[in-house]
Amino acid sequence: MNIMDVARSLGLVVSNGTVAGTIDQQKVLGALVELAESDPAHADLYAEAAEHVRSVRSAGMETHEGNSIHTRHSAEATTQLRYRSEMADLFTDLAIDVGLRLHNQALVTSA
């Protein structure tokens, strides 16, 4: 599973280079869990990224009506939002960190 493909699927990578708005924190955390499960060798980096998601500034809370489509699929009446631009930066940094780790491992293996 490619980190930037996951970011793209979340709408964190766009063709015109502008990422704006907010994103549901649970979508980001779920994607990081999937990445960690598919790439256990770097699970520590994904866990660190997840902790960062939980600690960055809030973009607000969205409260759902009792009959909202959001509450039909979940017991959650609110959604914690994060800024898309910050989450885009997080995924870019994560891709770089994993890439650097793989590069360093390749150097050690070939030496």
Spell out the per-residue pLDDT of the chain, length 111, in tens.
Answer: 899 999 999 999 987 878 999 999 999 999 999 999 999 999 999 999 999 999 999 999 999 776 655 555 556 689 999 999 999 999 999 999 999 999 998 888 886
Domain membership of residue 70 as a residue range: 3-110
Q: Look at residue 14 in the predicted model and tell me its pLDDT.
A: 84
Q: Look at residue 16 in the predicted model and tell me its pLDDT.
A: 80
Q: Look at residue 67 in the predicted model and tell me its pLDDT.
A: 65
Q: Look at residue 100 in the predicted model and tell me its pLDDT.
A: 96
Q: Look at residue 77 in the predicted model and tell me its pLDDT.
A: 82
Q: How far apart are CA 35 and CA 38, in angstroms?
A: 5
Task: Give every CB contact of residue 82 below 8 A, 6+ residues apart in sequence.
Answer: 22, 23, 25, 28, 53, 56, 58, 59
Q: Look at residue 62 in the predicted model and tell me its pLDDT.
A: 92
How many domains are there within the chain? 1
Q: Per DSSP, what are the bridge partners of residue 81? A: 24
Q: How far apart are CA 61 and CA 75, in angstroms?
A: 15
Q: Look at residue 58 in the predicted model and tell me its pLDDT.
A: 95
